[in-house]
């Protein structure tokens, strides 16, 4: 069996890979995120790719330095990045509670789009390497939240580490009327698309 490495510190991405029954390691990318694109789908692909490449680089370096210690095996590195887009604005994580209030007021009563970019780097024990990068979009219809509801939600502390200042898998669930697309893409990792895109390449995620 090869090794699967999740290049993300997000507990929600880790839970999703656990949910589908994978065995994997976690090695979060630490590099600064540099966005040069302003189209949401391109931006998340770029950021996902940066994360996956940073961690894949460490694997290769480690392998080269410890050749006598490491049994060569196939390695798959999965990087991901999620943003919320509303109109022309791209929403990342809120800077503070005031920013969270602003973001939630924007999204309240409206439909926004959530983009997750995924970059999968395949490093074969034979030395071959490849990268597969794509993104998924899900539209989310949020119910109207009044000012009291927004303040109460912010007081839970949940918005602060999340793109768009909300967690669909947390207490914000009561304000999500419906989605059109993949739910797990909103949570942060479109596991269906990962399985599907690898299958197209003839790779069974469970037999990696």
Q: Which residues bind its own copies (CB under 8 A)?
A: 16, 19-21, 138, 143, 152, 156, 168-171, 173-184, 191-192, 194-196, 205-206
The two tokens of residue 207 are 């037999």
Q: How near is the Cβ of 58 to its own copies at its closest, in Å?
A: 28
Q: How near is the Cβ of 125 to its own copies at its closest, in Å?
A: 25
Q: Which is nearer to its own copies, 1 or 34 (CB)?
A: 1
Specify whether the CB–CB gap between 176 and 142 falls below 8 A.
yes
Of 26, 23, 24, whose CA–CA distance to 11 is shortest? 26
Q: How near is the Cβ of 65 to its own copies at its closest, in Å?
A: 35
Q: Which is nearer to its own copies, 16 or 29 (CB)?
A: 16
Q: Is residue 56 within a helix (H) or strand (E), and if so which, with residue range? A: helix 40-65
Specify whether the CB–CB gap between 41 and 81 falls below 8 A.
no
Specify whether the CB–CB gap between 23 and 41 falls below 8 A.
no
The two tokens of residue 168 are 């669909």
Q: Which is nearer to its own copies, 124 or 192 (CB)?
A: 192
* Catalytic residue check, 96: no
Residues serving a catalytic function are 81
């Amino acid at each position: 069996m090869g090794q699967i490495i999740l290049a993300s510190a997000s507990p929600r991405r880790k839970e999703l890979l656990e949910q589908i029954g994978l065995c994997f390691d976690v090695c979060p990318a630490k590099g600064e995120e540099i966005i040069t694109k302003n189209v949401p789908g391109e931006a998340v692909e770029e950021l996902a790719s940066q994360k996956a490449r940073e961690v894949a680089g460490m694997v290769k370096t480690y392998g080269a330095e410890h050749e006598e210690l490491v049994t060569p095996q196939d390695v798959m590195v999965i990087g991901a990045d999620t943003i919320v887009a509303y109109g022309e604005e791209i929403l990342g994580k809120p800077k503070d509670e005031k920013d969270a209030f602003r973001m939630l007021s924007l999204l309240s009563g409206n439909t926004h789009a959530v983009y997750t970019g995924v970059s999968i780097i395949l490093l074969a024990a034979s030395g071959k390497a490849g990268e597969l990068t794509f993104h998924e979009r899900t539209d989310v219809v949020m119910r109207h939240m009044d000012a009291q509801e927004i303040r109460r939600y912010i007081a839970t502390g949940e918005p602060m580490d999340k793109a768009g200042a909300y967690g669909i898998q947390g207490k914000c669930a009561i304000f999500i009327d419906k989605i059109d697309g993949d739910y797990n893409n909103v949570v942060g990792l479109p596991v269906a698309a990962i399985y599907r895109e690898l299958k197209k390449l003839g790779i069974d995620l469970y037999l990696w």
